[in-house]
Structure 1
Amino acid sequence: MDRAVAMANNPAHEIWFQNLKAEIHERLIAELDLEASRNVDEAVMRQELRLGVERLCNKHSDLLSSVDRVRLIEELLNETLGLGPLEPLMNDPSVSDILINGPTNVYVERKGVLERTSVRFRDNDHLIDIVQRISGRVGRRIDESSPMVDARLPDGSRLNAVIHPLALDGALVSIRRFSSNVLDIKDLIVRQTATSDMLSFLSACVKAKLNVLVSGGTGGGKTTLLNLLSGFIDKSERIATIEDAAELRLQQPHVARMETRSANIDGKGAITSGDLLRNALRMRPDRIIVGECRGAEAFDMLQAMNTGHDGSMSTIHANNTREALSRLEMLVGMAAPELPMWFIHRQIASAINIVVQVERMTGGHRKIVQISEVTGVHGELISMHDIFEFRRTGLDKNGHATGVFEATGVVPNCMSRLQESGIRPRDVQVI
């Protein structure tokens, strides 16, 4: 066994192995009746292919070790029916992101930490073939005339790929995995993402129909938190959700889920978040949840919040809660440049009640680092104050950020509204 492992780690042996795999794969495809196989059950097809691969491997039995043989069979099955070298990563529940920079640089994120893998593609054409296979399964196309694709995979994962001529050093691919494990309040407390007091306050805000904006960077946990906060919405309410890629998994029975659509190859047929949001207003929702405000839909979202759809929620990319409002201000200004800034400020201040900042800390852990309340407009500025914050103190021996969660001592202006709704944060039991 040690000898076989040593051979597998030998560069010359690996080149020989890959060449043999390519040869057997070519023979397998030549023998495969693709037309007849379309109506065959996948499990039956996989078993028949396994027998075919084993038969072809037998012709090289004098060269193949037992380790090589098992590996060759599995990789050929993945190459023919699955996603080739990506198949093991897609089946690994610990992987949250797959990031590919060309055929020989494949990284994954596990528990918030990036690590390079031993996964390799034969060459850039092999990588592009796999990307085209993934895209084709969801009705999307990627080639030199359309060198970018953004799509949701059948399991809910999100694919983004860029190829030549836009990608200079090989195809660039990112796959945001869709986790089958739904986090709950206990998970956030155990992982020290937030304290029970913070989550009790947010729960009270959602129950009392305050409008909440979740802010953070890419991969910071915005959608995860938004999904969790939606769990505090009463089951009797009708909720409309609008997303670029359907990631929210609301547990309420009355949910109208909508997803945007990209333009086709001719640049036509696009349906934006703004289009869906305007349509959602005609669907009598009690609340609207927009997966992310990144464009003109920001203005429509504010209009909805200001016209009777209290308790609505969305996310936005920003570094802190104050920058979140600045970015929202910019998006609204771009969508409606004719509006004076003082009017935009008033729209934001009257629409947004609570801003929650999430962050992926040094070492990969995610935390709620700020919960702020919007208090109005003073002069030319939107005013707000922090209610909870995470104060950093340094790094532990494992390189993870350390710190403490603190209540600032500021009494939220929204307390009167919570009391009017019959809700007090200290009475809300989140665990």
Structure 2
Amino acid sequence: MNQPWTKDEINWTKEQEAWKMLETWEGEDEQYFRWEEELLQELQVIMNREGEDADRSELAREAQLMQIARSKPHIPARAHRQLVKSILDDMFRLGPLQPLWARSDVSDIQIFVPYNSNQEQIIMYTDRKGRHLYTGRGFRNYAHARSWLDRHLAVLGQKYDRGLTPSLDATFPNGERLHVISGVSAYSRWRDGRYELAECMIISVRRFIQAFSLAELTEEDIDTLAEEMALELVMAQQRRVVARVVPTATRYHGKMMDKATADYLRIMVQMGKNHLIAGGTGAGKSTLANALTAMLPQGTVLLVMEESYELQPQNDLHVIRICQREGVFTLVDAMKAALRMFPDRLFIAEVRDDLAYVFLRAIQSGHDGSSTTIHASDCASAIETMIHYAAAHPSHPDREMVRKILFDRVHTVVHISRVDQYRFVDEVVELRPDGTLQTVSRFIQTGVEGKRPVGYWVFYGPSQDFLDEMARRGIPIPASWRVEVSDDTDGVEEAVG
């Protein structure tokens, strides 16, 4: 019969203090993980021999692991403490996530664990200062992450089978929430002009951090600078300066769009405007959507939902990817899962049927800067098609309510046409909250030369609201726009561009 481990038997009190003084190992992760596996295998042998009355406490496991580590002359003593701690964290706490979870200011943790161990594992976390990349050690491999997941789900009486249910939600008694998705998920990156896709399991953990009181959220001192700025704002409103874009024309030479329209789309993406990209089959909707990902602000987390992994986003940070699995996991399922993964922006490769309503509801609750593509013959028909799809949702939303959501939350529609092998943006419109449209640019086709269309773009410019927001954000007017700056009462003062 196995005897329980005690402090006296191993003289643990004194040795534990010395144990804490040992340095941590800062060598290569691959070597560290091999040692960890080695200790775990021997511990498992000990555990398999234990009787029913064996001491299974953390203290007992710590003593066992220490003895195993000391019996390995090839493992440096300075690595012992960290190895034992990481294994104990795995057994009794949150494993490699424990250093983050021990911080009271961390609210979200997201782990991307590739099935291929040669591909990089990514761990992101969110604190009060924003989202960050975790540089500590993660899971040893997919098998380690899966056993960690199964152990924590077992506490709740749940089991995860990605073959049956690719996406699973779990809530712990203390309110912490866990979401896992695999079999239909991946991350992608664009680095040094090269695209990389890694199919992976994605685990998202969320908890509530310490609440603030109203007093803690309030500035204590009256800021005289703020008073001066408020006074200047009042004076500026009394004498409002207006910038008006003067229409300009650009002849078509085979490219997809003119420079002024490209600058508008770049600024639209940077300012986080929700938008639709419309056109027929093969018009270049995905091509344009892909190019616009390079315009995302640095650090933006994009989540892409597709029927298959086709888009090649070009932004600097990793992109969360979800694809549908026929008969098991639809894009509607993907959208619901996406909202558990706290992305900044969403992209749906093609919206149709009741997915349109789910998309509108998602951007209604946040995710500014999201976008999708839709089959339509022009911008106006794209809007009507979107409304038709959304109104056909099984919940039977009111059509006018859908229209209101669309005009409130979708800012821009871009339409692309195709003539033979030539693709070009032929219309860009802004949607106004009052239900009207403002044309930003339009392509005027005057004929065909061989197979190539002949014509020109007219850039009319964005709305005054768009220009005002650019000014507030400190975004300069592009050189491709010709702008007249005028006073409300004094008329035109100057022209720029």
Tell me the TM-score normalized by structure 1. Answer: 0.51
1:404 aligned residue? 456
1:290 pairs with 2:319: no
Residue number in structure 1 paired with 2:306: 243
2:280 to 192, 213, 217: 217
Q: Secondary structure at the match of 2:346?
A: strand
2:366 is aligned, of 293, 302, 308, to 308
CA distance in 2: counterparts of 1:307 and 1:427, whole angstroms: 35
Q: Can you list the C-alpha shifts for 1:20-50, whole angstroms capped at 9, x where unaligned?
A: xxxxxxxxxxxxxxxxxxxxxxxxxxxxxxx
Whether the 8 Å contact between 1:208 and 1:423 is mirrored in structure 2 is: no
Structure with higher strand content: 2
- Aligned position for 1:275: 333
Is 1:413 the counterpart of 2:465 in the alignment? yes
C-alpha contact 1:227 1:248 (8 A) present in aligned 2 = yes
Is the aligned partner of 1:357 residue 2:421?
A: no
Q: Give the counterpart letter for 1:388 in structure 2.
A: S
Structure 2 residue 265 is matched with structure 1 residue 202: yes
Contact 1:204 1:425 in 2 (8 A): no
State the Cα distance separating 1:383 from its structure 2 match: 1.8
1:6-155 to 2 correspondences below 5 Å: none
* Bigger radius of gyration among the two: 2
Gaps of 5+ in 2: 1-183, 185-192, 196-251, 482-497
Q: Is the 8 A contact 2:438 2:463 kept in 1?
A: no
1:393 matched to 2:443: no
- In the alignment, does 2:381 pair up with 1:323? yes
**How far apart are residue 256 of structure 1 and its match?**
0.6
Distance 1:419 1:248 in 2: 33
**Residue deviations 1:272-300, cap 9 Å, x none?**
11110111111010001111101221111
1:372 pairs with 424, 429, 435, which one? 429
Give the conservation status (yes or no) of the 8 Å contact 2:260–2:480: no
Matched residues in 1 for 2:429 and 2:464: separation? 9
Instruction: Tell me if structure 2 keeps the 8 A contact 1:296–1:335.
Output: yes
How big is each residue's C-alpha offset from its partner over 1:74-112, in whole Å with a ceiling of 9 and x where there is no partner?
xxxxxxxxxxxxxxxxxxxxxxxxxxxxxxxxxxxxxxx
Distance in 2 (alpha carbons) for counterparts of 1:318 and 1:291: 14
Which residue in 1 is equivalent to 2:69? Answer: none
Contact 2:429 2:441 in 1 (8 A): yes
2:475 matched to which residue of 1? 423
Encode CA deviations 1:221-262: one digit per residue, 9 max, x unaligned: 000000001110023011111011221111332311111111
Equivalent residue number for residue 253 of structure 1: 317
**How far did 1:339 drift?**
1.8
Change (3 A) 1:336 1:424: farther
Measure the CA separation in 1 of the matches of 2:394 and 2:471. Answer: 36
Cα drift, residue 427 of structure 1: 6.0
**Percent same amino acid at aligned positions?**
25
Q: Distance in 2 between matches of 1:303 and 1:229?
A: 23
Residue pair 2:259, 2:480 contacting (<8 A) in 1 also: no
Amino acid at match of 1:227: N
Counterpart Cα distance in 1 of 2:444 and 2:339: 40
Find the residue that maps to 1:305 and give its secondary structure. Answer: helix
The answer to whether residue 326 in structure 2 is matched with residue 262 in structure 1 is: yes
- Asked if structure 2 preserves the Cα contact closer than 8 Å seen for 1:214 and 1:316, the reply is yes
TM-aligned CA distance change 1:205 to 1:256, over 3 Å: same
Deviations 1:162-206 (A, max 9, x none): xxxxxxxxxxxxxxxxxx999xxxxxx973211111101100000
State the superposition RMSD in angstroms. Answer: 2.4
- Distance (Å, rounded) in 2 between the aligned partners of 1:411 and 1:328: 23
Q: How many residues align?
A: 233
Distance 2:462 2:267 in 1: 17
Change (3 A) 1:240 1:181: closer
Q: For residues 357 and 364 of structure 1, what CA distance do their matches in structure 2 show?
A: 16
Within 1, Cα distance between the matches of 2:370 and 2:399? Answer: 23
Note closer, same or farther for the CA distance 1:345–1:410 as it changes in structure 2 (3 Å cut): same
8 Å contact kept, 2:430–2:462? no
Name the SS for the 2:414 alignment partner: strand
How far apart are the structure 2 equivalents of 1:231 and 1:190? Answer: 24
TM-score by length of 2: 0.44
Partner of 2:256: 193
2:390: which partner in 1? 332
Alpha-carbon distance change, 393 to 310 in structure 1, aligned in 2, over 3 angstroms: same
Q: Which amino acid is the alignment partner of residue 348 of structure 1?
A: L
Distance 1:304 1:365, change over 3 A: same
419 and 304 in structure 1: CA distance in 2 versus 1, 3 angstrom threshold = farther
1:296–1:203 Cα change, 3 Å: same
Is contact 1:373–1:385 with CA below 8 Å preserved after alignment? yes
The correspondence for 2:294, drawn from 231, 242, 245, is: 231
Change (3 A) 1:366 1:354: same
1:305/1:417 CA distance change after superposition, 3 Å: farther
Aligned residues of 1:201 and 1:425 also touching (Cα < 8 A): no
Give the secondary structure class of the aligned counterpart of 2:260.
Answer: helix
| 1:384 aligned partner | 437
Contact 1:285/1:309 (8 A) holds in 2: yes
Query: For residue 317 of structure 2, what is the amino acid of its counterpart?
Result: P
CA contact (8 A) 1:243 1:258 kept: yes
Q: CA deviation at 1:420?
A: 2.6
Segment drifting more, 412-421 vs 340-349: 412-421
